[in-house]
Amino acid sequence: MRRRHLTLFPIVIALVIAAYQYFGAEKTVNPETGRKARVALSTDQEAALGLQSYREVLSQSETITTGPDYAMVERVARRLAAAVGNDAQGFQWQVALIRNDQANAFCLPGGKIAVYTGILPYTQNEAALAAVMGHEMGHAIARHGSQRMLQTSLTQTLLAGAQYSFTDMDTRQRMMVMAALGVGAQYGVLLPFSREHETEADEMGLIYMARAGYDPHEAVRFWERMNSAGGSQPPQFLSTHPAHATRIRDLEALMPKAEAEYAKSSHAESSR
């Protein structure tokens, strides 16, 4: 008797479950770009998790609460929050400056912002810092974390269905097939999905900083400095983030829109 290598039933069940997960998930529309997506969590759940994570990070970090760097971070956060306006309904903004050499910043759901001192040598000025912080705020406002959670859950459901469908296959063959499917999901679905979020957050941050009265050209100059800083960067298709050169090109393409927002800003004259 010929041995079966593929059983379709588990794949069909996985597809049904994935469809239920997807169509049962909440719809969201990016208030700045208009892009539609589905998310795994409600805004209340996101905010609760964001606050919990924020408190954990701060409890394990050395925060700076005085001095010119903190005053700058706090000022940028205040101006950006005003520029964001109704895009961040229900957010309770908080900002912290963390003494850490990592060139990093983040904004968690609900509006919990942290800037690491290691990013300041690269930003070099307030407007470039606004580009970084606006980008991170864009992630939270667009609910990118919740979108990634749903995407990961869907991928895991489908991979589990595939695995059960190959139970009759030789063990070594099955492992090779599942490894290939896993790589395909990672590089064909999850990483491009993440890069799409980064590009969207770049666009949102550029508009927010311009609306807040910060020269949007400083966003390009920041990424030029990051590009010149050296260090290894994986090929774009292997990375969660676009290549620096790609980000610069995309930001330059968006500059006319950002310049129009900057021209309308009440802060523009004082920021020049």
Residue 105 lies in a domain: yes
Q: How big is the chain by its Cα radius of gyration, in Å?
A: 22
Residue 153 lies in a domain: yes
Residue 3 lies in a domain: no
Per residue in 143-171, pLDDT (tens digit) is: 999 999 898 888 888 878 777 666 666 66
Residue 90 lies in a domain: yes
Q: pTM of the full predicted structure?
A: 0.83
| Residue 29 bridge partners (DSSP) | 36
- Sheet with 105-108, side-by-side order of all strands: 63-64, 94-98, 112-116, 105-108
Residue 1 lies in a domain: no
Mind telling me the catalytic residues? Answer: 136
Range of the domain at 226: 8-271
Q: How many domains does the chain have?
A: 1
Residue 262 lies in a domain: yes
Per residue in 204-259, pLDDT (tens digit) is: 999 999 999 999 999 999 999 988 876 555 444 344 567 888 889 999 999 999 99
